């Protein structure tokens, strides 16, 4: 790896808010020094499921990948939702351990209806889809807590 200082960018936003698209565009602008780590990609390549048996392992793999890319001196983008402050603290701690700088890239401004529309478009295009009800729950929990936004049944 080059003489770059390792860095971790943590994206924050709902599914469909543009996190992965932004991350891939950033990686394409500097393919030799940017690496993307995403739990969806880990699940897709390993056959893991989003359930309580597989998810702890998927999270450990994510953390290990971030750690190893930082050790190698890369700019790492974790393009998961990262809505939970606990998760962001965990990722920042990994970076701190490796003396890497950390930044957050927020997609919290993207409206819920845009995220739901993009989510449906992904499914129509043959890609994976997050249940709309899950996106609405994340919205109600992390972006607009206390609001009375109905969820899809």
Q: Where are the domains of the chain?
A: 7-110
Q: What band does 150 get if pLDDT is binned at 50, 70 and 90?
A: low
pLDDT tens-digit readout, 86-138: 999 999 999 999 999 999 999 999 999 999 999 999 888 877 778 999 999 99
Name the nearest CA neighbour of 105 among 7, 36, 11, 17: 11
Average pLDDT over every residue of 45-64: 89
Residues 6+ apart with CB under 8 A from 113: none
CB 74 within 8 Å of CB 34: yes
Name the nearest CA neighbour of 139 among 81, 92, 97: 81
> Selecting from 3.40.47.10, 3.50.50.60, 3.40.50.300, 3.30.390.10, what CATH number does the domain 7-110 have?
3.40.50.300
Direct distance between the N- and C-terminal alpha carbons of the chain, in angstroms, rounded to an integer: 49
């Amino acid at each position: 790896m080059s003489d770059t200082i390792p860095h971790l960018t943590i994206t924050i936003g709902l599914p469909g808010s543009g996190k992965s698209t932004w991350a891939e565009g950033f990686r394409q602008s500097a393919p030799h020094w940017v690496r993307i780590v995403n739990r969806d990609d880990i699940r897709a390549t390993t056959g893991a499921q989003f359930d309580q048996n597989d998810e702890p392992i998927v999270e450990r793999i994510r953390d290990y990948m971030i750690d190893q890319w930082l050790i190698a001196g890369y700019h790492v983008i974790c393009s998961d939702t990262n809505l939970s402050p606990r998760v962001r603290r965990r990722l920042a701690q990994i970076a701190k351990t490796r003396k890497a700088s950390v930044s957050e890239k927020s997609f919290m401004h993207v409206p819920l209806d845009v995220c739901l529309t993009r989510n449906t478009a992904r499914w129509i295009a043959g890609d994976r889809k997050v249940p709309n009800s899950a996106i609405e729950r994340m919205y109600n929990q992390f972006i607009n807590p206390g609001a009375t936004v109905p969820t899809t049944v």
